Amino acid sequence: MEQNELLMQEAAGEIPSEESTMKQPKTGKKKWLAAGIAAGLILIAAVVGILIYLKNSGQEAYEEFTEQLFKDEIVLNTINLHYTLAYPENFGITDYEVSLGSYSVEDFQESYDDMKQLKKQMRKFRRGSLSEEYRVSYDIIMDYLDTELAAEDFQYYAETLSPTTGYQAQLPVILAEYTFRTKQDIEDYLALAAMVDDIAGEIITYEEQKSAAGLFMADYVADGVIDQCRDFIENPDENYMLEVFDSKIDGFEGLTEAEKQAYKERNREVVTGDVVAGYNTLIEGLTKLKGTGKNELGLCYFDKGKEYYEYLVRTSTGCDDSIKKMERRVERFMTDYFILLQEHIMEDEALYDELLFYEFPDMQPEEMMEDLMRKAKEDFPEPPAVNYTIKQVHPSMQESMSPAFYLTTPIDDLEHNVIYINQKHLSEGGSMDLYPTMAHEGYPGHLYQNIYTGTANLPLVRNLFSFPGYTEGWATYVEYEYSYGFSGARTPIDRLLSGNTALSLAISAYLDMKVNYDGWNTEEVLAYLTDFGLGDQETAQEIFESVASEPANYLSYFIGYLEFLDLRETAERKLGDAFEAKEFHDFLLKMGPAPFYIIEEYMNDTIKAVKAGK
């Protein structure tokens, strides 16, 4: 059975490959998520100074407490605030200090102290007195605090700078897409951009402390980040942040021509000055630190590296399985796919050529979105009507950015959505892999999930938390389980296509665990890939460096995907003929992002209620 050639055809030399969601940045004063993409230590600044007298521990007091927690936390970083609330004044937020946050270890430690205080405050509430939606938020907060406080010794293990999910990779797009709704937004943006050099200095100080602790990045990671920074500032006067800003200012109503010109000149000064200086600070700082790294291999070769990886996987996936159990799950998935592939090819040898040369619909991205929206209606609840824009990643960022990503919208402005496509990662011809990618990023993937969940009126405090296992797992689930059938591929071609694509991601996820937890080196990766017909040194080195520099990144996609499959299998088994895909998806979307073990608990309660006829 020649599955190797098939895998290579699908992978097209791009293993590992992924799409991403660029979420609202969770970069508060004492916590960070690398400008929106999960990349390590996740800290939440508990609000010690909440002026709420807890007269009782019931529903009303809990709602008031968590709403104030949200308001106090969200203003600590202006990017957080802007990407979470379009109109903060409608939430009683009218005064805040413009800030990019803080990246000092002192603030990290302060946040742990705050979390301990928050946990004490949370325990004053009676969980049983809360409505279900607030019990969910209670469970999420307590689980989050337990997870984070158990990782207090890992302050120097997190990595702010990494090739794909790093701060330096995400910040330019986050700033470029900063929406101007009011003049204050323009002023806030200019103030934030002017802080880039200062925040870069804090990051380098943190990297110096990591180096002193023997935890600095490998040289190949530093080289990748340095090259990326150089590419971004290579032509300062042609930086795309200038072009995008000018376009937004030209379209902003209520400004005189003189005001528009003044804003453009201020932005040019800030971008060519502070932003470029910040990236030079990163280049110079990393260049000096190169060679101080003690480990060129996976996380497990650091002291306590295995423990940190376990923490990282739990926060990235929302799954509480052991690493070994996850490895077995991935192995089982790959074995099942090869058995399925062999069975079908043995029954009909013509399927092999059809599978190898399958062509997706030749459509423009906007046409694909409309097609996907129409076909998703059968198994997915009707989403609210919104607008979306599809943009191309700027050439200066194509080398380091994901193949595609979706920018989440503020919770009070779900109308305007943006999807970025990286032309560099598209197959020859421009559309071969674009259809499933649009399903992942658009409908019924990230865009659809974000706007549908956004209409569920979840408690505000839920917006302080990011669960990439849920969000990336959902987008991967709908891509693999639906988009190939939506594209017109007949059964079983649709199942084989999705399985073959999933296999590529499974390999990346599996190697992520083998490199970072079991200690595989490049030669062991090469030996493993040889079994799949991908056994060349260059590919093995590329994959090794990818999973070593972005540990647990691929697991949020693949383990998240497997978790959604498990939830569906459980629901189908327990409900039998009463199972309806649309209702199942409605439950998941209204539940919203959360750890899977919490979702499963509430799903089982819902199934019991359905079976009881309630």
Q: What is the DSSP string of 516-572?
A: HTS---HHHHHHHHHTTT---HHHHHHHHHHHHHSTTHHHHHHHHHHHHHHHHHHHH
Residues 6+ apart with CB under 8 A from 43: 28, 30, 31, 32, 108, 111, 112, 115, 148
Q: What is the pLDDT of residue 25?
A: 35
Per-residue pLDDT of 244-260, as tens digits, reads 999 999 999 999 999 99
The mean pLDDT of 432-458, rounded to a whole number, is 94
Within a domain: residue 305? no
**Gap between the Cα atoms of 186 and 188, Å rounded:** 5
What counts of helices (H) and strands (E) characterise the chain?
26, 4
Within a domain: residue 188? yes
Tokens standing for 227? Answer: 């090259």
The pLDDT-based confidence of 427 (bands split at 50, 70, 90) is: low
Query: Higher-confidence residue: 346 or 426?
Result: 346
State yes or no: pLDDT of 51 exceeds 60: no
- Residue 249 and residue 263 in contact, taking contact as beta carbons nearer than 8 Å: yes
The pLDDT-based confidence of 57 (bands split at 50, 70, 90) is: low
- Residue 458 and residue 133 in contact, taking contact as beta carbons nearer than 8 Å: yes
Per-residue pLDDT of 292-347, as tens digits, reads 999 999 999 999 999 999 999 999 999 999 999 999 999 999 999 999 999 998 89
User: Domain span at residue 284?
Assistant: 160-216+219-292
Distances (CA, A) of 465 to 74, 92, 226, 334, 535: 11, 21, 30, 32, 40
DSSP conformational letter for 153: G
Within a domain: residue 109? no
Within a domain: residue 12? no
Distances (CA, A) of 579 to 369, 568, 582, 601: 28, 9, 9, 18
The pLDDT-based confidence of 236 (bands split at 50, 70, 90) is: very high
Residue 391 pairs in a beta bridge with: 420
State yes or no: pLDDT of 524 exceeds 60: yes
Q: What are phi and psi of 109, to 5 degrees?
A: -65, -40
The pLDDT-based confidence of 42 (bands split at 50, 70, 90) is: very low
- Residue 229 and residue 168 in contact, taking contact as beta carbons nearer than 8 Å: yes
Q: What is the pLDDT of residue 386?
A: 94
Average pLDDT, the chain: 88
**Gap between the Cα atoms of 330 and 362, Å rounded:** 33
State yes or no: pLDDT of 10 exceeds 80: no
**Gap between the Cα atoms of 487 and 288, Å rounded:** 50
> Hey, what amino acid is at 326?
M
**Gap between the Cα atoms of 476 and 213, Å rounded:** 37
Q: What are phi and psi of 405, to 5 degrees?
A: -160, 155
The pLDDT-based confidence of 34 (bands split at 50, 70, 90) is: very low
Residues 6+ apart with CB under 8 A from 13: 539
**Gap between the Cα atoms of 358 and 344, Å rounded:** 16
Within a domain: residue 205? yes
Q: What are phi and psi of 302, to 5 degrees?
A: -85, 155
Pick the closest to residue 97 from 81, 73, 75, 68 (CA basis): 75
- Residue 446 and residue 471 in contact, taking contact as beta carbons nearer than 8 Å: yes
Q: What is the pLDDT of residue 426?
A: 72
Within a domain: residue 40? no
Per-residue pLDDT of 267-284, as tens digits, reads 999 999 999 999 999 999
Query: Higher-confidence residue: 473 or 11?
Result: 473
Helix (H, G, I), strand (E, B) or coil at 89: helix
Q: What is the pLDDT of residue 107?
A: 87
State yes or no: pLDDT of 44 exceeds 60: no
State yes or no: pLDDT of 35 exceeds 50: no
Helices within 98-239 (DSSP H only)? 105-122, 132-149, 167-176, 183-194, 196-212, 219-232
> Hey, what amino acid is at 120?
K
Contacts within 8 Å (CB) and 24+ apart, 105-111? 105/155, 105/156, 105/206, 105/209, 107/29, 107/30, 108/30, 108/41, 108/43, 108/155, 109/155, 110/30, 110/45, 111/30, 111/31, 111/43, 111/44, 111/45, 111/46
State yes or no: pLDDT of 114 exceeds 90: yes
State yes or no: pLDDT of 399 exceeds 50: yes
Report CA Rg, the chain: 24
Tokens standing for 1? Answer: 């059975």
The pLDDT-based confidence of 145 (bands split at 50, 70, 90) is: very high
Q: What is the pLDDT of residue 195?
A: 97
Q: What is the pLDDT of residue 437?
A: 94
Within a domain: residue 306? no
Per-residue pLDDT of 341-377, as tens digits, reads 999 988 988 888 888 888 898 899 999 999 999 999 9
Q: What are phi and psi of 421, to 5 degrees?
A: -120, 130
Helix (H, G, I), strand (E, B) or coil at 240: helix
Within a domain: residue 614? no
State yes or no: pLDDT of 600 exceeds 80: yes
Pick the closest to residue 588 from 574, 598, 577 (CA basis): 598
**pTM of the entire structure?**
0.91
Helix (H, G, I), strand (E, B) or coil at 169: helix
How many structural domains comprise the chain? Answer: 1
Lookup result for tokens 């992942």: 440
The mean pLDDT of 500-521, rounded to a whole number, is 97
Residues 6+ apart with CB under 8 A from 178: 79, 82, 185, 188, 189, 192
